[in-house]
Structure 1
Amino acid sequence: MIPGRALFRPVARHGLRAPSLAATTYALRHRSPTTAALGQPRRPVQRWESTSGAVGSDKSGHIDAQPNESILFFDNIFPLKLSSVLLWRAWETSELLKRFNSASLSFLDPIGLVKRAIPESAPIKVTEIIPRLKEGGAYVKFTHPDNMTPAEIEDELVKSLDKKPIKPWFNPFRGIKTRLVLGRPWLEDLYRLPKSRLRIEFVPAKDSEPPAELSQESLYSIFRRYGKISDITSQPPDSKVLPKFAYVDFVLVRDAILARNCMHGFVLQEEGSKNPARLRLSYEQRVKPHHIWNWITNHPRIVIPVIAAFLAAFTVAVFDPIREFFLYKWLKRQTSDIFAFRKRRDDDAGLHALFTHRKDLIDSIQNNLLETVETFIVVQGPRGSGGRELVMDQVLEGRRDVLVVDCRQVVEARGEAGAIRKLANQVGYRPVFSWANNLSSMVDLAIQSTTGVKAGFSENLESQIAKILQTTASALKEVSLADRKKKDKDATLTDDAYLEAHPEKRPVVVIDNFLHKSEEKGIVYDKISDWAAALVQSNIAHVIFLTNDTSFSKPLSKSLPDRVFHQVTLGDLTPEVAKHFVVSQLEPDEKSDKEENDNSPTITEKQLRRDLRELDECIDALGGRLTDLQVLARRLKVGQSPKKAVSDIIDQSASEILRMFLLSKGAGEGDKKWSTEQAWYLIKEIAAKENLRYNEVLLSNTFSSSTTAGASNAEAALESLANAELITVKSRHGRPATIRAGKPVYQAAFNRLLDDAVVKARMDLAVLTELAKIEAKNIDKAETELSVLGGLPSQPYQAADRVNYLLAKLQGSQLKIMAYEKEMAGLKKVLAEEA
């Protein structure tokens, strides 16, 4: 229907009155001419045709009414939130009016709700029903007697619903409402969901007339009848946006729906304005002021650290108790897992001889575990000396609650995330999110680059290790107190006093491979040392360090500066014990069934080996290092003779030395602090003398005047070679005194390398070349100083001695270079002739 016009007269100071009944009647009577009046054929109207797709006159989306027809909009017929889910297909058929006429008054049937909302006393006849699913209502077109106006019928229906509310099943708190449609409804099927805010656009009623804008008082008078209004917002005066508009905010969405469907397309003229205005209504998403969110986004320097602190506190409050629980359970079963994988019987038999020899050391460590002294137990020995086997298989055999932390796995892990994951796996710390550290680091970097402030989301390796070790300490304390009972005679003691009085209840923490590659990730060793110190000082656990490094006292003294360590030093085995160890390894694994059933005396394998008489001589060449002895025993068991086995071991060691120390680039590779020439100098001198004086080596030209970058510090070079186990530095009265081969077998390997003419010539040539460079540098210095002295205006007699000294030094260096070159010529000839 094309709306008519209504003139509003102000009746009160606060605003305009609502459309009067006369105005409504005027609006309903003054309609546009129908198509029949214009002489066009009129399409017969089917009152209950399908409503799917476009509806209205000529499928335009608008509803037209005949002169004797009016339209009501019934709200709250369908649920709003479920309209897009529920398929009300029954409302999209051509049987709506028939169903309305025959419908029951069931509260579950939407048609029944419409029928119940129209009292039987109402003198109207329903001619068409058009549902609006997404708006939860329906248009009802009806005819009425000539003696009643549509406004009177509206009043009767409103009063009936107020007196007897009809509440649908899906909304028991709001009844059905109905209002007369004054405008021209637009039945669009766009995806525009109802909102509580309506945008009221003022468009011209005629194309030639400019639009008129209504005041807030007029808008309030028009729309207040549909529901409570929370706010009315007019367009800013300086706005150039056309058409002019205003916002009307309803408290409830249902009220906004009722107002839009009844007033869309309504034409009115405010008193005092020249031109009428047509109201075009649409739903508008209300932009709510997010003051809190705006403050958060505008203050990242304050908010991001607060969020980081909150997340840290949350993870501590939630995950730390879970991790302590897992740690406790893991520690309780860890001891049985450690000792479940026992060595083979032959290994046990061989190690028994070793442990018998070291019985005093084992007893000493076990006694220390029964003391209450707050200090460390340090087991130090060269690599392969059997320190781990001695502690785990003898000292701690049968002991409960043992935790082993292998520093080698942590230090050699790739990246910080790998180190965190390895340490967490060793102590049973879970769940651990090592991958999240890299992600949070990238987020932290991005925030810092944009805001200029570090957010603190990421944690460095130091803080992550400290958190893991701190949680482990809490779990260890629970393990120490697990067997405490209320009936004990010392039940009144505090936890700390109880642990101090019962050292046998404390678990044992074994820190293996301490200071392995100490130059890498030194923070790991510092944190572990501090953690171990806290364990022993709090009487939570005993701590045993297993290390190959002789300088272990430096980092440990930082953690326990006022304590003396219980130190146990492991050396190589004596020839007698070494021979007994090898022979014991040759016992058969187990007796065969024939031997068990046969009572005749058995002949062991070692009695059948006549060549074992060579063992004494071979042991002297091999030395007493445990790992080398085990290799020898395995070779003997497969049938090799002692001499052949030892010779192969020596050749293998010589090849290892050649590859690691002589053919590498020395200080230029892997940040090593020694040169190839320095390594060969030690090999050659130790092969000839076995023992070298420490200071004598420091004063040699190869060490004191090395031309290799990174190897100029002689003491650092010797320390690096000792850590690489090429040599062993023996101390006397706390100072380094002598230098020996790193392992006993290396003494024989050094001699084997000297027997190789090509290797010897090549390495000697490298050493002589460096020595020649050193002398050439000395000559350059002497010549430079002589040039300065020669440039003086006169030759003072006081400079004569200095000149003679420089000339003598220059001559001496030249003679050395000539000798070196002569020797180098012979070495080059060997390299040219030998293959």
Structure 2
Amino acid sequence: MLKRINTPSIVASDHLSVVRRAIPSDLDIEITKVIPRLNEGGLFVKYSRRPDKDDGDIESAVREHLQEHPMRPWFNPLSRVDVGLVLGKPWIEDMYRSPSQRLKVEFLPSSSGLPPVEMTQEALYSLFRRYGKLKDIERQPSTSPITPRFAYVEFSRAKVAVLAKCCVHGLTILEKDGGGKHGTILKITYERRFKGAWIMDWLFNHPRIVIPALAALIAAITVIIFDPIRTFFVKMKIKSWLNAEGTARGVWQWIRKQVNRANILSFSRQPSETNLLSAVWEDRKDDIVQLRTWLTENSGTFIVVQGPQGSGKRELVLDQALRGRKYKLVVDCKPIQEARGDARTISVAAAQVGYWPVFSWMNSISSFFDMVAQSMIGTKAGFSETLDAQLGKIWQNTAFALKQVALENHNKDKDSQLTDEQYLDAHPEERPVVVIENFSQRTGDKSLVYDKVAEWAATLTTANIAHVIFLTTDVSSRSKSLSRALPNQVFRTISLGDCSLEVGKRFLLRYLEREEASRSKLEEWLGNLEGCIAAVGGRLTDLEFMAHRIKTGETPSRALDQIIDDSASEILKIYIFDADRSSRDWTREQAWYLIRELADADDGFVPYNRIMLSDLFRENLEGKLQSLEEAELITIITTNGRPSGVKPGRPVYHSAFRRLVGDGVLRSRLDLAILWQLIGIENKNVKKYEDELQLVGALNLGKPPPQLEPRLRWVLQKLSKSQVKIDQYERESAELGKFLLDYHNPTSTN
């Protein structure tokens, strides 16, 4: 191998061959001895020459030869062999002394009894600079009592320090070179710094290595120490050990059970809320059974329960379908969505799954350190993590905890010989259930949060770690984040709507039968109860609100009026007179137009094409209606995948719309605002047509050519139609303005 790599440009391990290659063949000297210094990485070469040759000329010739024919070690091709003439008397020793770029130069007398002379910095520089670049020359303080006197000479590289030490050690400095009258002998040794400050100096002088290493160390400590703690707390959350509400409910149920057994109290005349809602659950029995059936299947369970707010999605899933389910985890996306800032988002997301401890405040400090590191080393050190990465850690740790919970009975089961994946696939009843509430990706929401939740849910289902149930009011969410997470899987969907009028009637009757004060008036109220239920609709929240008002002693008619009044006030505040108009994508005129059209429709249904042809919705029709649907003012009805009509967002809104339209002053004000907006639209059209006519007139064509006549007729017809509309809108505006002026007259009637 040595012979194979023994080429003129590569130095091998044969010392003699190195010497022969370094010295020119025509130099006429004889090599007498080669002394290798392996610990210093060099060779001492002894030679004999003719008396007429000079040692300095020999050194110059060898140096020039090495410059023309450089020799590089095979283990370090960036370095090359150098040469120096030995001026002193080198000390050949085999002690374990490692070379260093810092030399200690001691000044000794040429003979005993004579005082040594300490060389100046200039003299030391002249002596040592020939061997390489010097970093510093540090003389011994004049007040130091240490003898012999010494100085430190530090080179830029250890290689040149070795060359200088081997060549100068034992050299006698004469008087003309600064060595004093009797001369001074130099004793040179390697000096290494073993001071406490050396570590700090190295840390601060090598930030490119230290800062990333420190970041990696912190990450390793976090994984080793905190991740098991976080997994433990997530498991406690899944098992409801930390859920005070669930624990209190379990204790209360046990107390009630013991009391009923002892016949101390009787609850026969006071049915519970569950019995009160039994009419609703009987109507949705098929959905409950279907959910429970899906949770017993072996394949990945990815369920979407969709329905408007107040339709009872949460109660149906948690209180009915998952009743008796041992392990479940509920994640509410709404507080995560409403969190301000990355730190708050991380903290809220961690709280949803019991991920603790979480140092969300460290993200700001880590970002500051990253900024400092970037200014120092040019790149980020990795102290801070993006919101995406930190959310990914939270969901990953939660998935690990869910898997541990699902495998708790693995070793106890008769199928203990199965692998974890086989066991989870064979026992779907052991998998926890993850319920994700308020999953509704709307305009302006944090899409990153929903995307990470969808990806995490897809991982849970594909790996058979848990069953996942999404509760959403947004139909489009299934075609966005969920579709991207599981593009090749069909979602199992349950759509919940409003209850039928018959179910709503049974709900109220059971509630009235529950109250002793209401039972005496039940026959009196039966006459108008059906009409009240028809006006309120089948939304559970509205039915419960009406039932609670009846409980306070109000009649159904009075309760209905109060619900309609509250809904009307809510509509005015949110959709009409909202002060912050920059946060919404529609105008109050567009919202009022839909309210007026829906109120005038007997069945509360307006065809989609009628809205599409309105001048108020000429621009971005679909975006405006979608925003109003997300704000829950309307509900878009689809037929065969296309929008066919619009209905009120809640059934009770139809009655509220009619009450608002019945207010003559309010209707006149808002109709007048619509007319002003329509007049502005038509004035813009007229201006556009007039500009086109003015452009044609500026051509000075005299009689228009036949090619322009169809266009001019079209422009004139459009101009005439716009002016007719403006005249009509002006007349209607004048009538509405006269009504508003006369309204304050006591003799006028509404």
TM-score (norm 1): 0.63
Partner residue of 1:559 out of 465, 470, 485: 485
Query: 1:816 matched to which residue of 2?
Result: 725
1:492 to partner: Cα distance:
1.2
Alignment partners' CA distance in 1, 2:364 and 2:576: 39
Deviation at 1:732, TM superposition (A): 1.5
Within the candidate set 755, 774, 777, 2:684 is matched to 777
TM superposition shift of 1:421: 1.2
**Are the aligned partners of 1:375 and 1:560 in contact in 2 as well (CA < 8 Å)?**
no
Task: Please tell me the residue identity of whatever aligns with 1:679.
Answer: A
1:786 aligned counterpart, secondary structure: helix
Change (3 A) 1:800 1:397: same
Matched with 1:729 is 636
Partner of 1:659: 573
2:512 and 2:518 in contact (8 A); partners too? yes
Which runs of no fewer than 5 residues in structure 1 stay unpaired? 1-213, 223-231, 252-271, 275-285, 590-602, 705-711
- Paired with 2:358 and 2:271, the residues of 1 have a C-alpha distance of 39
What one-letter code is carried by the residue in structure 2 that aligns with 1:605? S
Could you tell me how far 1:691 is from its partner in structure 2? 1.2
Q: Is the Cα contact below 8 Å between 1:612 and 1:642 reproduced in 2?
A: yes
Query: Are 1:804 and 2:718 matched, yes or no?
Result: no
Partner deviation per Cα, 1:141-200 (whole Å, 9 max, x = no partner): xxxxxxxxxxxxxxxxxxxxxxxxxxxxxxxxxxxxxxxxxxxxxxxxxxxxxxxxxxxx
Alignment partner of 1:506 is 2:431 = yes
- Deviation of 1:233 after TM superposition, in Å, equals 9.5
Retained in 1: the 8 A contact 2:637–2:645? yes
The CA distance in 2 between the partners of 1:219 and 1:577, in whole Å, is 118
Which consecutive unaligned segments of at least 5 residues does structure 2 have?
1-104, 126-136, 149-178, 182-192, 254-269, 745-750
- CA 1:450–1:701: 2 relative to 1, 3 Å: farther
- Do the aligned partners of 2:441 and 2:447 also contact (CA within 8 Å) in 1? no
Q: Supply the AA of the counterpart residue of 1:434.
A: S
C-alpha separation between the residues in 2 aligned to 1:525 and 1:413?
13
The within-5 A match list for 1:228-239 is: 236-237=121-122
Q: Distance in 2 between matches of 1:753 and 1:665?
A: 19
Question: In the alignment, which of 418, 427, 440 is matched to residue 344 of structure 2?
Answer: 418
Q: What's the offset of the Cα at 1:834?
A: 3.3
Residue matched to 1:461: 387
SS in 1 for 2:286: helix
Q: What CA distance in whole angstroms lies between the structure 2 residues aligned with 1:534 and 1:567? A: 19
Contact kept, 8 Å, 2:230 with 2:356, in 1: the verdict is: yes
Match of 2:590 in 1: 678
Q: Tell me if structure 2 keeps the 8 A contact 1:335–1:403.
A: no
Contact 1:349 1:585 in 2 (8 A): no
- Does residue 395 of structure 1 match 2:302? no
Residue 245 of structure 1 corresponds to 142
- What corresponds to 2:228 in structure 1? 321
Structure number with the higher helix fraction is 2
Distance 1:620 1:541 in 2: 41
Aligned residue number for residue 284 of structure 2: 358
CA distance in 1, matches of 2:141, 2:521: 115
Give, in angstroms, the shift of residue 426 of structure 1: 1.6
1:573 matched to 2:486? The reply is no
Residue 735 of structure 1: how far off its partner (Å): 2.2
Q: Which residue identity is paired with 2:108? A: E
1:605 — aligned with what? 518
Do the aligned partners of residues 684 and 250 (structure 1) sit closer, same or farther apart at CA in structure 2, a change above 3 Å counting?
A: farther
Aligned length: 566
Q: Distance in 1 between matches of 2:577 and 2:145?
A: 88
In terms of Rg, which structure is larger? 1
Label 1:242 to 1:381 Cα distance change in 2 as closer, same or farther (>3 A): closer
8 Å contact 2:299–2:425 — kept in the other structure?
no
Instruction: State the Cα RMSD in Å.
Output: 3.5
Cα distance, 1:446 vs structure 2: 3.5
Q: Which amino acid aligns with 2:426?
A: A
The 3-state SS of whatever aligns with 1:379 is strand
The answer (yes or no) to whether the contact 1:673–1:717 under 8 Å persists in 2 is yes
Offset, 1:521:
1.1
Alpha-carbon offset, residue 765 of structure 1: 1.2
Equivalent of 1:531 in 443, 456, 468: 456
What is the deviation of 1:703? Answer: 0.8
Taking the aligned partners of 1:418 and 1:241, their CA distance within structure 2 comes to: 56
The equivalent position to 2:466 in structure 1, one of 541, 553, 558, is 541
Deviation at 1:742, TM superposition (A): 0.2
Alignment partners' CA distance in 2, 1:370 and 1:645: 44
The residue type equivalent to 2:297 in the other structure is: E
Whether the 8 Å CA contact 1:650–1:748 is kept in 2: the answer is yes
Distance, in Å, in 2 between the alignment partners of 1:624 and 1:533 is 34
**1:669 is the counterpart of 2:587:** no
Cα 1:233–1:461 change in 2 (3 A) is farther
Kindly tell me: are residues 698 and 299 of structure 1, through their superposed partners in 2, closer, same or farther at Cα, counting changes over 3 Å?
Answer: farther
* 2:545 aligned residue: 631
Identical pairs, percent:
46
Match of 2:741 in 1: 832
Q: Say which is worse superposed, 371-380 or 404-413, in terms of deviation.
A: 371-380
Paired letter, 2:452: K
Give the aligned residue type for 2:453.
I
Q: Which amino acid aligns with 2:534?
A: D
The change in CA–CA distance for 1:688 and 1:454 in structure 2 (over 3 A counts) is same
Separation in 1, partners of 2:475, 2:736: 39
Aligned mates of 1:717, 1:829 — CA distance in 2 = 32
Task: Show the counterpart of 1:470.
Answer: 396
Counterpart check, 1:640 vs 2:525: no
The question of whether the paired residues in 2 share the 8 Å contact of 1:233 and 1:248 is answered with no
Give the superposition deviation at 1:789. Answer: 1.3
Contact preservation (8 Å) 2:236, 2:242: no
Residues 559, 273 of structure 1: alpha-carbon distance in 2 compared, 3 angstrom cutoff? closer
Aligned to 1:492: 417
Aligned to 2:108: 217
Partner residue in 2 for 1:99: none
Give the TM-score of the pair, scaled to structure 2. Answer: 0.70
Q: Give the distance between the partners of 1:471 and 1:396, measured in 2 at CA.
A: 24
Measure the CA separation in 2 of the matches of 1:568 and 1:350: 23
Given that 1:511 and 1:545 are in contact with CA atoms closer than 8 Å, whether structure 2 keeps it comes out as yes
Deviation of 1:715 after TM superposition, in Å, equals 0.8
Could you say if the C-alpha distance between residues 732 and 250 of structure 1 is closer, same or farther in structure 2, counting changes exceeding 3 Å? farther
Deviation (angstroms), 1:501: 0.5
Distance across 2 between alignment mates of 1:220 and 1:319: 70
What letter is aligned with 2:734? A
Q: Are the aligned partners of 1:532 and 1:543 in contact in 2 as well (CA < 8 Å)? A: yes
Q: Indicate which of 602, 610, 622 corresponds to 1:715.
A: 622
Is the alpha carbon distance of 1:647 and 1:734 closer, same or farther for their aligned partners in structure 2, counting shifts above 3 Å? same
Shift of 1:622: 0.8
Shift of 1:588: 4.2
Is the contact made by 1:375 and 1:563 (CA closer than 8 Å) also made in structure 2? no
Amino acid at match of 1:640: E
Classify the secondary structure of the residue corresponding to 1:586. Answer: helix
User: Is the contact made by 1:326 and 1:428 (CA closer than 8 Å) also made in structure 2?
Assistant: yes
Q: Compared with structure 1, are the counterparts of its residues 623 and 237 closer, same or farther at alpha carbon in structure 2 (3 Å cutoff)?
A: same
Contact 1:694/1:739 (8 A) holds in 2? yes
Shift of 1:661: 0.6
Instruction: Call closer, same or farther: CA 1:221–1:425 in 2, change over 3 Å.
Output: farther
Q: How much does 1:331 deviate? A: 2.0
Distance 2:521 2:563 in 1: 24
CA distance in 1, matches of 2:248, 2:496: 25
Could you tell me how far 1:244 is from its partner in structure 2? 6.8
Q: CA deviation at 1:530?
A: 0.4
In structure 1, how many angstroms separate the alpha carbons of the residues matched to 2:624 and 2:498? 25
- Give 1:688's aligned residue: 600
User: 1:600: which partner in 2?
Assistant: none
